A and B are shown apart, each in its own frame.
Chain A
Amino acid sequence: LDQPVEMKTQQDLHVATPVRESLALTKLAGTSIYLKLDSSQPTGSFKIRGLGHLCKTAKRGYERFVCCSGGNAGMAAAYSARKLGVPATIIVPNVTPNITVEKMRDEGATVIIHGKLAFVYKGKATHLWRSSKELEHDLKEKPGAIVLSVGGGGLLNGVVEGLRRANWADVPVVAMETMGAHSLHAAMEAGEHVTLPAITSVATTLGVAKVSAQTMKLSQEHPILSEVVTDQEAVKAVERFVDDEKILVEPACGAALAAVYSGIITRLRDERKLPQHLGPVVIVVCGGNNISLEQLDKLKKQLGII
């Protein structure tokens, strides 16, 4: 490690994304639903926020970025590396679709396909989530709840940090998972930091068997409502969302959208777990790269939805 690589850009690697009301989802839920459109991030998911920040603030003297991820984190890392002018190596499991590998190579990254890897996920709590500032600006009033998907918990960790910084520490988080990738729910039910025996959900990008320690900690400190939907509900939500909002997202994101499409917000209000007089509910549309119409069709057939 001789010469430090000169970082190419001082600008943020992520973009400020719109928060807009969803007519269709508001109508369905009977309460105001807003969408945080992180599907419109470079590389298609919110991951660029945390990973972009991490890569930018990486200590000088590093010659190369290395990331283990066959999914959105890998894409975000590859993109960040290109923008910063730093070489990148992405190590992906052999189940990674060819098209994803190609996309990473298009970003200039070296991609190594490495058999069936067990990834150790470190949900970095240092993800600075400036989107809370964006929320404050675009929303103009305090949210009634934030709805998001939970894989390893990185997004949740970042959102709670953002809420605390905005003095919105009492805003509940509705943490959505799919059955078979419900590491947070399992841990909260058990009252301890358990590991799922296997990931059986099609929402593979939620597929972290043990949620991050930080998320576990926050589940005891912050109002978090943990809810689980089936794969069918998540995929149906993806389908309806394309019609309603013209955006195609992964089933992992569908899990969050199912909070409205499967009536969970309504139920939580009926159960008084969310107040009747609810401020705007913001769904984080985390996005995701690994989806196409063809893949959606395959999933529907696989899940018996067609």
Chain B
Amino acid sequence: MAEVFHLKTPLLESINMSKRVGTTVYLKMENAQPSGSFKIRGIGHLCQQLARHSKGVICSSGGNAGMAAAYAAQKMGVPATIIVPSSTPPLVVQRLHDQGATVRIAGKVWDDANTEALKLAETEGLTYVPPFDHPLLWEGHASMIAEVTASLGPSVKPGAVVVSVGGGGLLCGVIQGLKDVGWTDVPIVAMETVGAHCFNAAIKAGKLVTLDDITSEAKCLGAKTACKQAFDYSQSSELTIISELVTDQQALHAIQTFLDEERVLVEMACGAALAAVYSGVIVRLQNEGRLPALMGPLLMIVCGGSTINMEQLTNLKHKLQS
């Protein structure tokens, strides 16, 4: 039986968030995963399926998908090459090296790095690991919802799920997971930052669109185009997906608050989801009648992310709070 690379993560009740929202808030602590984020679920699964006898894997990533791919590859004894955009912090590049990967820098944003990765996959015969746009990834990510049902017990169903959206991989995985357990009626609050809002832009345009640039500091949300599956889900009458935006300042405030109250440091990308509570988005949605006033527990996916440290946090404060 193929080894699984991700771990079952804790589901913790947050008293402080629950107080703010007026219903129990559960945190799915994906920051506790090896490689630091939920990505190892989907990428681990994909690598097991596609890369077992591979010459090597290649992944384009602003950090976390790369970390997950490097980790999975190392476990499988297969070489890993990670292509990162120039916006990637040096600490991330170092980490990738520490995980045994070869790192190359290409382009300014993820889309550029991805073009390069696809090219090299072909010319060098490597297994391309997409960071968010593949059914095997979504199948892998879906495992987190099954875990949640086990933790909550048979009589508890979330009132809503909150996720961050970059390219939409997590969103698609969560939806897959909800489908697997028969919870397709649970609304999903899909959070992005302004300046990395490709999903929101697509919904507003009524079709997939490509942002001109990523101007948010939440670099790990920085896909210019959402994946098609995410967009298709947004158009489905079967699902309730509420797309909301927060500013970089709100995402930063969220990660600071989370560090103080829950003692875990997460990235800006994760902060986008946390801001749904800390910046009153959930309460507003309830007031607007888009979420029920008396709601079952809120499931917050703490996606994690390792492209953050105290120095980065200070830099972000200087950049965003002046």
Contact = CB atoms under 8 A, between A and B. Distances in A.
B308 A246 contact: yes
Contacts of A291: 263
Taking chain A's interface residues, is the majority helix, strand, or loop, or is none over half, making it mixed? mixed
A149 B79 CA distance: 38
B95 A40 contact: no
Interface in A1-52: 11, 15-21, 23-24, 27, 37, 39-42, 44
A242 interface: yes
Contacts of B216: none
B8 A16 contact: yes
A159 B306 CA distance: 30
Q: Which of A15, A21, A41, A246 has the most CB of B within 10 A?
A: A246
B156 to A, nearest CB: 11
B153 A246 contact: no
Q: Which of B16, B32, B99, B264 has the most CB of A within 10 A?
A: B32
Q: Which of A19, A23, A39 has the most CB of B within 10 A?
A: A23
Given A106-B19, A243-B309, A246-B31, A39 B263 contact: yes
A136 interface: no
Nearest to B16: A106
Contacts of B33: 18, 20
B10 A15 contact: yes
Interface string A98-135: 00000100110000000000000000000000000000
A289 B262 CA distance: 9
B187 interface: no
Contacts of A24: 98
B13 A42 contact: yes
B264 A103 contact: no
Interface string A182-211: 000000000000000000000000000000
A247 interface: yes
A15 B29 CA distance: 12
Contacts of A242: 265, 309-310
Nearest to B311: A243
B266 A246 contact: yes
A41 to B, nearest CB: 7
Nearest to A20: B34
7 contacts: A15-B10, A18-B34, A19-B7, A40-B10, A242-B309, A247-B265, A292-B260
Q: Which 6 A-B pairs have the closest CB atoms?
A: A246-B265, A248-B263, A18-B7, A243-B309, A40-B10, A15-B10
